[in-house]
Amino acid sequence: MSQAEAIGQARQWLAAAQSIAVLTGAGVSAESGVPTFRDALTGHWANFRPEELASEAGFRAQPQRVWDWYASRRDELKAVQPNAGHHALAQFQQRHPGRLTLITQNVDGLHQKAGSPGVLALHGDIHATRWLDGFPGGCSRANQADEVCDVSAASPGRPPRCETCGNLLRPSVVWFGEMLPIAELEAAQQAADHCDVMLVVGTSGVVYPAAGLAHQAREAGARVLVLNPAASDLDEIAHLLLRATAATGLPALLDGL
């Protein structure tokens, strides 16, 4: 089957699907100029192991160093804009409310910036901040729904502390050795179980449990589409392989549906 035929078949399946789940990875954001975590370890930061900058132990050992690393990444992301792939997904969701569940391994917030509602960010949000030691009961600045301090009232340190309870603040991302956020993972698993089509975009398929969602969808009877310019570990379970980047492939799949 040619790529044109594959895209045509995929569009037919997507048009007929009552429920679609989309899993995105770093390849979607790479086209906006967002380096992967390891690719961003350049210059001064090339002297550190990833585990020193993305683990609770690394943060506790050198909190200012880790805070500054994430501050530099946040600054880099301020100028980054969603690409045509992000926009194609957001526009489809706006045309078909509730029909597409967007699950991402990315922490950059570009899906949200493009206008996608209800994004399930399995690895957290680099722009958000939360307590290091969970929810300390009795803190008057606590937002109990999200278990975060009011950052606007935090001390100006690097990292800042809650001015009331003294707890250190940390980036709200999933570090090495940490569990994925329970609510987001459960919602993603529900979407995988009940979708008619699972579209996997821009991920190598080696990071679990996220990659396991594609297997789960296939076992539940969904058609699995893999959109990636290179081979991935999920190719073997795909019903269709679409060799394109997210910025070109997603508009080709979704525009006009």
What amino acid positions are annotated as catalytic residues? 123
For residue 167, what are its two tokens?
């707890």
In angstroms, the Cα distances linking 202 to 64, 65, 208, 243 are 32, 30, 15, 10
For residue 182, give the amino acid letter. I
CB–CB of 96/114 below 8 Å?
no
For residue 157, what are its two tokens?
């340190």
> Minimal CA–CA distance to 149: which of 158, 134, 66?
134
Q: How far apart are CA 39 and CA 161, in angstroms?
A: 30
Q: How far apart are CA 246 and CA 230, in angstroms?
A: 12
Q: How far apart are CA 172 and CA 151, in angstroms?
A: 12
